Amino acid sequence: MEPQMDNTTPLLRVAGLRVSYRNGKAFTPVVKGVSFDLGRERLGIVGESGSGKSTIGRALLKLLPTARIQADRMDFEGTDLLAATERQMLSIRGRRISMILQDPKFSLNPVHRVGDQIAEAYRVHNKASAQVARDKTLAMLEAVKIRDPERVYGLYPHEVSGGMGQRIMIAMMLIPEPQIIIADEPTSALDVTVRMQVLNILNELVTNKGIGLIMISHDLNLVRNFCDRVLVMRHGEVVEERAARDMQNCVHPYTRGLLAAQPHIGGSRRSLPVLNRELMVRSTWEVQP
């Protein structure tokens, strides 16, 4: 993928997004007029369970067959996603906008070798021989820091650990070279070491490849440390939008409450070894080219 470093042109422009789920004959609104742009950056969407975060991610890909999705604007690089036909969406989903979910086991087919699944994800979008797809897959497994790609290629999903499964999922999502990745709680099932590896991979993609990343999480500390910008959601609405480094100046009482509830990572770093480790790894994000 050619690096595109123009941070000023949004990849995605969303205005007034409203999503309602069918509830018998009526519709229940769960996303109530959300607006944001996404550039080649890390955008965090944070909020309590049920606030509508995942619904936004799925609505962008129109993966909500029973929901009503409305918006004043939902543009992806000149394509009106709202007006896009299912055929157009098929060429966007996975190929140009990918979604990484919390639990890879739901996304990997248990009866196929993981390498073949990644190779297939490549061949769906590119005319390529089996050998070329295999070589691309091995390179991609290496890119997501899998040590022995040849061996891992031949494993079945039940034979890989949670952390490796998550990296395999990321490899599968990345092989078509998407422009946007929506990562929905991508690390919450992972232990801290693997979590850092996954975050570093995602970070490199934004920094080196110019991808736009939407990180959906309930973890405000994670999002404010990892992302450039944060949307705070509550009851289907964005109550705060702020540069991550400016989070301490938040004004909405809900955000202030969330911040106050976070473990303090200022002066007491040394007493929190887990956070220390995160902060150490984060300092490697900051020196990325």
Ligand X SMILES: Nc1ncnc2c1ncn2[C@@H]1O[C@H](COP(=O)(O)OP(=O)(O)OP(=O)(O)O)[C@@H](O)[C@H]1O
186 interacts with ligand X by CB under 6 A: no
The DSSP bridge partners found for residue 67 are 21
Q: Which stretch, 51-59, 158-166, 197-205, 272-280, contacts ligand X (CB under 6 A)?
A: 51-59
218 interacts with ligand X by CB under 6 A: yes
Binding ligand X (rule: CB under 6 A), the pick from 47, 157, 178, 186 is 47
> For residue 81, which of 62, 68, 95, 107 has the smallest C-alpha distance?
62
In Å, the largest CA–CA distance within the chain is: 56
271 interacts with ligand X by CB under 6 A: no
CB of 216 to ligand X, least distance (A): 7
Q: Which stretch, 44-52, 168-176, 219-227, 245-253, contacts ligand X (CB under 6 A)?
A: 44-52
53 interacts with ligand X by CB under 6 A: yes
Cα torsion through 265, 268, 272, 277, rounded to 10: 60
Q: Which stretch, 47-55, 71-79, 103-111, 168-176, contacts ligand X (CB under 6 A)?
A: 47-55
187 interacts with ligand X by CB under 6 A: no
Distances (CA, A) of 185 to 44, 150, 191, 204: 11, 29, 13, 18
50 interacts with ligand X by CB under 6 A: yes
Number of residues near ligand X (by CB under 6 A): 11
Per DSSP, the three-state class of 168 is: helix
55 interacts with ligand X by CB under 6 A: yes
CB of 48 to ligand X, least distance (A): 7
Distance CA 177, CA 172 (A): 10
Helix axes 114-125, 162-174, angle to 10 degrees: 20
Within 13 Å and on the Cβ side, how many CA atoms surround 248? 5
Distance CA 176, CA 113 (A): 19
179 interacts with ligand X by CB under 6 A: no
52 interacts with ligand X by CB under 6 A: yes
Q: Which stretch, 8-16, 45-53, 74-82, 249-257, contacts ligand X (CB under 6 A)?
A: 45-53
Residue 231 tokens, joined: 């949307």
Q: Give contact residues for ligand X (rule: CB under 6 A).
A: 21, 30, 47, 49-55, 218
